[in-house]
Amino acid sequence: MKVTRKDVETVAVLSRLEMDEAAMDKFTGQFNAILDYVDMLSKVDTEGVEPTAHVLNLKNVMRTDEVKPSLSRDQALSNAPEQEDGYFKVPKIIDN
Amino acid sequence: MELYKLTAHELQQKLQTKEVTAVEVAEAVYNRIDAVENKVQAFISLTKDRALEQARRVDEKIKTNTALSPLAGIPGALKDNICVQGTKTTCASQILENFVPPYDATVTEKLVDADTVVVGKANMDEFAMGSSTENSAFKVSRNPWDTDTVPGGSSGGSAAAVASGEAIWALGSDTGGSIRLPAAYCGVVGLKPTYGRVSRYGLVAYASSLDQIGPITRDVTDCALVMNAIAGYDHRDSTSINTPVPDYTKSLVKDIGGLKIGLPKEYFVAGMDPEVEKAVYAAIEQLKALGADYKEVSMPHTEYALATYYMVATAEASSNLSRYVGVGFGHRGQGDDLISMATKTRTEGFGDEVRRRIMLGNYALSSGYYDAYYLKALKVRTLIKRDFDKAFEDVDVLVAPIAPTTAFKIGEKVNDPLAMYLQDVCTVPVNLAGVPAISLPCGFKGHLPIGLQIIGKPLGETTVLQAAYAFEQSNDYHKRLAPLGGE
Amino acid sequence: MAYEVVIGLEVHTELKTKSKIFCGCSTTFGASQNTNVCPVCLGLPGVLPVFNAKVLEFAVRTGLALNCEILPFSKFDRKNYYYPDLPKNFQTSQYDLPIAVNGHLDIEVNGETRRIGITRVHMEEDAGKLVHAGSVTKSDYALVDYNRTGVPLLEIVSEPDIRSEEEAKAYLEKIKAILQYVDVSDCKMEEGSLRCDANISLRPEGATKFGTKSELKNLNSFKAVQKGLEYETLRQTDILEDGGKVIQETRSWDDAKGVTLTMRNKEQAEDYRYFPEPDLVPIVVDPVWVEEVRKNLPELPEARKARLMNDYGLSSYDAEMITTSRAMADYYDAAVAAGADAKLAANWLMGEVSRSLNNAAQSIESCPVTPEKLAGLIALIAKGTISGKIAKTVLEGMWSSGKDAAAIVQEEGLVQISNEGEIIAIVERILAANPQSVADFKAGKEKAIGFLVGQVMKETKGRANPEVVNKLLRERM
């Protein structure tokens, strides 16, 4: 097992997800199976090969600096789970 | 003949000659939905009021002899990851169960401008992650050819709706095969356009560098008509290609004399069903008989495509989906502080497969693993793309299977993610390279359809459609109706 | 042991484009909450960014003004972290290929010029604003306003070349001056359009290896930068002198308490999972265009300072003061162009005009007395039409009424009296009324004449030419 439960826990925190013990075990197993498969990539010789982040050779796609209509505040807040005084409302913030 | 059984171009004739009205067509489709939706489960929501209003408007235009687009008044379905202002767009996820976009996707605008009639939002795998549509949070769609089997995914609802007569055409999205696989499993036509040919604005992102919207239709002619309506440059999508759109119906010619077709032998992977392989070879024989020059080509990095895909797609997805934390929109879980609220929201709101991919993507991007997984995958992606570039020096189109097997039983692969992923082995290379590819029926194994994949050069949709049309017109697979449709 | 302070600054500045970096929403400051927002900057499902060309131009202009190299191939990346002011939970920024690198700027502290390296300048989007009910830590909830989300930012990162809080302040002032000169930002720290984080570490004097640094956040004013660094220097010195070890951490400056407090340590550091932004394509700048931008750069503070010293004979100090703000320097140049004596103009600008602006809490841009009108006032002083003292009164009048100096002098009869005939009678009356002062003067008390001059000035309501009064008094004693 290259990916430990601890690794999966760390990634879960990074992903803002939580899971119970049983799910964690199942997940760790599946994670390892998938990554064992993905490890075939290490066999590929990529010496001197540039990465492809974009498949198109586009560059310099820009717009002119013009103001376009915004949403009304009601529209902006129309999907808000909670709102107050025209603001989005969220629970208290505890830094880490 | 009942109206829902007709293609868009056939219905268009009847509308133009005033043999039928758009409202009659829409009602015929809704009657069909009433009759079979409990078996097919293709839709997450129906938009009947709006659809009938659109149909009435088309009838008005017909009455006054206003010029109409070819898709005017033709009922279709949109995959539920395409935004329609004022209509729920859920991505088949609890987390977006009540999300109502305050804006239209560019394709939605274009379809509205073309006076099409949108009957509803089609089911899908949650956030387009899956190959069977079993990952929907709301329902499992069924394959109209055998309701015990999956319709494929992730655009399973779109394909099932078209195959069962619940829609004349549909839009899907394809990130690793999500249009082509369900089209193949459901015996209909599905096209993944060149990356950048159809605007992604308003398509809820799964993996941004791979996602494309495309048509799912009963035949190649309808596919060309839908492409005419949705393709084109969009200033709101920075990855949109700014070149003129050809009239795709000009490709609908049966002559493919001299067309150079290639078969990448690496696509016949271990585990390929011999009957699928046989059907694909038979299709090649048929294309040769129609005048195509055949050549076997080699694409040596094909075997790495799936692994590459799962790193690139999940990395992008992990970031694209981090906005679902219950702050500005979507489901919110209970939590006293922000982090526990966000964690609750996501844990409750996302299904297993989405969670798995988010975690896989965050793993691939996290410090210590980035080079070995994500960056490595981007480099292999370069090699895969080069395989295509090289192959297209010798041939005009590539011909390959869509999937190693025909549609599988519902529940068969749900507990084995890797086995599920392997269904995409023949479709993901196309997304990694950004090229266009079509799926169309080329035979049956028993009662289940087999899909043929025709892959083109970048912006080579015209050639792909031409080859597909010639093939289609030389057989009758596209005229067969799913058992649900044949009663 | 003596320690050397090592400081690097990260400056964030909001660019003054009309629209946001990736959407068409307005960047206007102070709009009502959640009204300058659209699906794109709200990060709604399905939206895509489109880059504002003006941001690139501003970034290149800034990079060039900071003597940077403009990278021919640049791209955007996603910086992934969760915070409710960031609707997508990633910030679109630049990671390994920023728009500009390897620059520098020179600062002057205590008469010594020091060159501070600029590591990089990159483009990114700003986050929204959180409003807390009560204090951040005690409040049960927070409210979010996304108006600022997507306002374009430049991040300017210095090399760890700064050696004191005075240098940090001078660096920041210079950055501000340059950003204003190249006209890309308002640089209003009080509105958050200029923000600063600092990395600070200590090392024994003469050492070459860097010590462990702490990162200071929440330095919201020039004063906070200086005080925060001062505090942090003392804190780290204390630790080191006690034989302890500084731990790598992020600390926040508490302005009210005047201390820095731990925010998070190295172990809690975020893993930002940077990767190329798939929704934006690379930026490839045309070197010809870059040269055009370079050619069109305005005169920068240093060149302008040199010009004021050479052309007008201003002192280094005066020239520095005037050119620190582009608006101030523009005002000065306009006043001189309108005919004002260069030295008088410098004195008045740094003196009475600045003082009045401070009192009125106004900026030079909104000064009610135009440079041309100030030139008019200075001309009256230079010609001897009014005294310097009267001129202050006239300036006050100009400030409130907007009238010309000449008009006010005319209306209020403030013309200086230099005619001896008009003053003699008053001088004689004052001498007669103050025999003691006259005696004192005659006894050699030079100071006594000052009192007598004052009396004459009082009598003439300040209008008498003090030189003439002086002369007449002396003649008669």
* DSSP-based three-state secondary structure for B438: strand
Residues 6+ apart with CB under 8 A from C77: C92, C93, C94, C95, C96, C274, C275, C276, C277
Q: What is the pLDDT of residue A1?
A: 57
Interface test with B, best of A19, A26, A27, A38 (most B CBs within 10 A): A38
Is residue A52, in this structure, part of any structural domain at all? no
A50, burial (CB in 10 Å: exposed 0-12, middle 13-18, buried 19+): exposed
Q: Provide the 8-state DSSP code for B249.
A: G
Alpha-carbon distance C221 to nearest alpha carbon in chain A (angstroms): 23
C-alpha–C-alpha distance, residues C184 and C34, integer Å: 25
Query: Cβ contacts (< 8 Å) between B366 and chain C: which residues?
Result: 271, 273
pLDDT tens figures, C182-214: 999 989 888 889 999 999 999 999 999 999 999
SS3 of residue B12 by DSSP: helix
Handedness of CA B56, B57, B58, B62 (dihedral sign): positive
Neighbours of C384 (CB within 10 A): 12
How is chain C split into domains, by residue range? 3-289, 299-412, 420-476
CATH number at residue A25: 1.10.20
A77 in reach of chain C (CB within 8 A): yes
Write the pLDDT tens digit of every residue in B157-202. Answer: 999 999 999 999 999 999 999 999 999 999 999 999 999 999 999 9
What does the alpha-carbon distance between residue B157 and residue B136 come to, in Å, rounded to a whole number?
10
Residues C88, C47: contact at Cβ < 8 Å?
A: no
Q: What is the ipTM metric for this complex?
A: 0.97
Q: Which residues of B touch A79 (CB under 8 A)?
A: 98-100, 102, 328-330
Q: What is the C-alpha separation between C389 and C414, in angstroms, rounded?
A: 11
Name the packing angle between helices C420-433 and C448-459 (round to 10°): 120
**Which residue bears the tokens 């692969």?**
B413
> Over B144-194, what HEC string results?
CCECCECCCCCCHHHHHHHHHCCCCEEEEEECCCCCHHHHHHCCCEEEECC
Amino acid of residue C200? I
Contact C380, C386 (CB under 8 A): yes
Question: Is C139's pLDDT higher than 80?
Answer: no
pTM (2 d.p.): 0.91
Residue A55 lies in a domain: no
Q: With beta carbons under 8 A apart, name residues in chain A contacting C136.
A: 93
C43 touches chain B (CB under 8 A): yes
pLDDT category at C136 given cuts 50, 70, 90 is low
Contact criterion met (CB < 8 Å) for B331 and A81: yes
Instruction: Note the pLDDT of residue C267.
Output: 67
Q: Which residues contact C71 (CB under 8 A, 6 or more apart)?
A: C97, C98, C99, C100, C101, C285
Task: Determine, for residues B365 and C80 on separate chains, whether the beta-carbon distance falls below 8 Å.
Answer: yes
* B198 CB-side CA count, 13 A: 32
DSSP strands (E only) in B4-163? 43-46, 75-79, 117-122
Do B315 and C89 count as a contact with CB atoms less than 8 A apart? no
| Token couple for B419 | 């086995």
Q: Does B101 touch chain C (CB under 8 A)?
A: yes
State the CB neighbour count (10 A cutoff) for residue C261.
Answer: 10
Which residues does A21 contact at the CB level (< 8 Å), separation at least 6? none
Interval C93-131: pLDDT, tens: 999 999 999 999 999 898 889 999 999 999 999 999 998
Mapped onto helix, strand or coil, the DSSP state of residue B429 is: helix
* Subunit contact A63:C52, Cβ cutoff 8 A: yes
Greatest Cα pair distance, chain B, in angstroms, is 70
* A-chain residues near C36 (CB < 8 A): 70
Cβ–Cβ gap C88/B322 under 8 Å: yes
Which of residues C464 and B448 earns the better pLDDT score? B448
Which residues of B are known catalytic residues? 79, 154, 178
Amino acid at C180: Q
Q: Are the beta carbons of A58 and B196 separated by less than 8 Å?
A: yes
The string of pLDDT tens digits covering residues C57-98 is 999 999 999 999 999 999 999 999 999 999 999 999 999 999
Measure the CA–CA gap between C338 and C329, rounded to whole angstroms: 14
Say yes or no: B171 contacts chain C, CB-CB below 8 A. Answer: no
Mean per-residue pLDDT, C348-367: 91
Give the pLDDT confidence score for residue B486 in this predicted structure.
43
Q: How far is CA C352 from the centre of its chain?
A: 19
**Hey, are the CB atoms on B204 and C45 less than 8 Å from each other?**
yes
Q: Chain A contact for B327, CB < 8 A?
A: yes
**In the structure encoding, which two tokens stand for residue C94, read together?**
């630049």
Query: How many distinct structural domains can be found in chain A?
Result: 1
Determine how β-strand C51-52 pairs with β-strand B448-456. unpaired
Are B255 and B473 contacting, i.e. CB atoms less than 8 angstroms apart? Answer: no
Q: Which of residues 52-81 of B touch A (CB under 8 A)?
A: none
pLDDT tens digits, C383-434:
888 888 888 989 999 998 888 888 888 887 777 887 888 888 888 888 888 8
Cβ-Cβ contacts under 8 Å between A and B: the total is 161
Instruction: Identify whether A16 is part of a domain.
Output: yes
Contact A15 B329 (CB under 8 A): no
Q: Are strands C129-132 and C141-145 parallel, antiparallel or unpaired?
A: antiparallel
Residue to test with chain C: of B327, B338, B360, B369, most C Cβ within 10 A: B327
**C157 bridge partner residues:** C10, C120
E strands, B309-410, in order: 397-401
Contact by Cβ (8 Å): B390, A47: no
Q: Is cis: bond before B154, omega within 30 of 0?
A: yes
| Least CB–CB distance from A52: residue in B304, B372, B381 | B381
C-chain residues within 8 Å CB-CB of B205?
45-46, 279
Å between A35 CA and nearest CA of chain B: 9
3-state secondary structure of B455: strand
* A chain contacts of residue C145, beta-carbon cutoff 8 Å: 87
- Residue B93: CA count within 13 A, CB half-sphere: 31
Classify residue A63: in a domain, yes or no.
no
Which residue has better confidence, C436 or B206? Answer: B206
Q: Hey, is the C-beta of A91 within 8 angstroms of any chain C C-beta?
A: yes
At how many degrees (to 10) do helices A21-38 and B352-365 cross?
Answer: 60
Contacts of C45 in chain B (CB under 8 A): 83, 89, 91, 96, 99, 101, 204-205, 323, 329
Q: Which of A7, A16, A78 is most worth mutating to test chain B (most B CB atoms within 10 A of its CB)?
A: A16
- Mean pLDDT of all residues in chain A? 93
Is the distance from CB of B407 to CB of B445 less than 8 angstroms? no
| Residue keyed to tokens 């999205």 | B173
What CATH code is assigned to B3-261+394-486? 3.90.1300.10
Instruction: Round to whole Å and give the CA distance between B214 and B403.
Output: 18
**What chain B residue is nearest to C24 in terms of C-alpha separation?**
B236
| Residues of chain B with C-beta less than 8 angstroms from the C-beta of A63 | 235
Nearest by CB: A63 against C35, C53, C268:
C53
Using a CB-CB cut-off of 8 Å, the residues of chain A touching C45 are none
Any idea what DSSP says for residue C103? E
Helices B8-16 and B22-40 meet at what angle, rounded to 10? 150
pLDDT in tens, C206-243: 999 999 999 999 898 899 999 999 999 999 999 999 99
- Chain B residues 234-293 within an 8 A CB cutoff of chain C: 235-239
**What is the reported pLDDT for C138?**
67
For the C420-476 domain, the top CATH level (class) is mainly alpha
Chain C CB contacts of B202 below 8 Å: 46-47
The fraction of chain B above a pLDDT of 70, given in percent, is 99
User: What is the distance in angstroms between the Cα of B478 and the nearest Cα belonging to chain A?
Assistant: 33
pLDDT on residue C410: 82
Number of residue pairs across B and C with CB atoms under 8 Å? Answer: 102
In whole numbers, what is the pLDDT of chain B averaged over residues?
96
Mean pLDDT of chain C: 92
The tally of CA atoms less than 13 A away on the side-chain side of residue A45 is 2
Choice between B65 and B270, residue whose per-residue pLDDT is larger: B65
Report the share of chain B in percent with pLDDT over 90. Answer: 94
Q: Positive or negative CA dihedral for C181, C186, C187, C190?
A: positive
The torsion of the CA quartet C366, C368, C374, C380, rounded to 10 degrees, works out to -170
3-state DSSP assignment of residue B261: strand
Q: Look at residue C98 and give its three-state secondary structure.
A: coil
Judged against a pLDDT cut of 80, whether residue B1 lies above it is answered with no
CA B248 to chain centre: 18
Distance of CA B359 to the CA centre of its chain: 25
Q: How many angstroms separate the CA atoms of C305 and C188, rounded?
A: 23
Predicted pLDDT at B269: 82
Tell me which chains share at least 3 CB pairs under 8 Å with chain B: A, C
Q: Best of C21, C58, C140, C143 to disrupt the A interface by mutation (most A CBs within 10 Å)?
A: C143
Residues C266 and C247 sit within 8 Å (Cβ to Cβ) = yes
Residue-wise pLDDT for B131-155, tens only, equals: 999 999 999 999 999 999 999 999 9
The separation between the first and the last C-alpha atoms of chain B, rounded to the nearest angstrom, is 12
* Residue that has been written with the tokens 């189109």 in this structure: B397
Measured between alpha carbons, how far is C415 from C409 in angstroms, rounded to an integer?
6
Which of C24, C32, C50 lies closest to A67 in CB terms?
Answer: C24
CB C61 within 8 A of CB C173: no
Please determine, for residue B15, whether its predicted confidence score (pLDDT) is greater than 70: yes
Domain assignment present for A89: no
Q: What Å distances lie between residue C28 and B126, B459, C25, C176, CA to CA?
A: 39, 42, 9, 20
Structural domain that includes position A17: 5-43
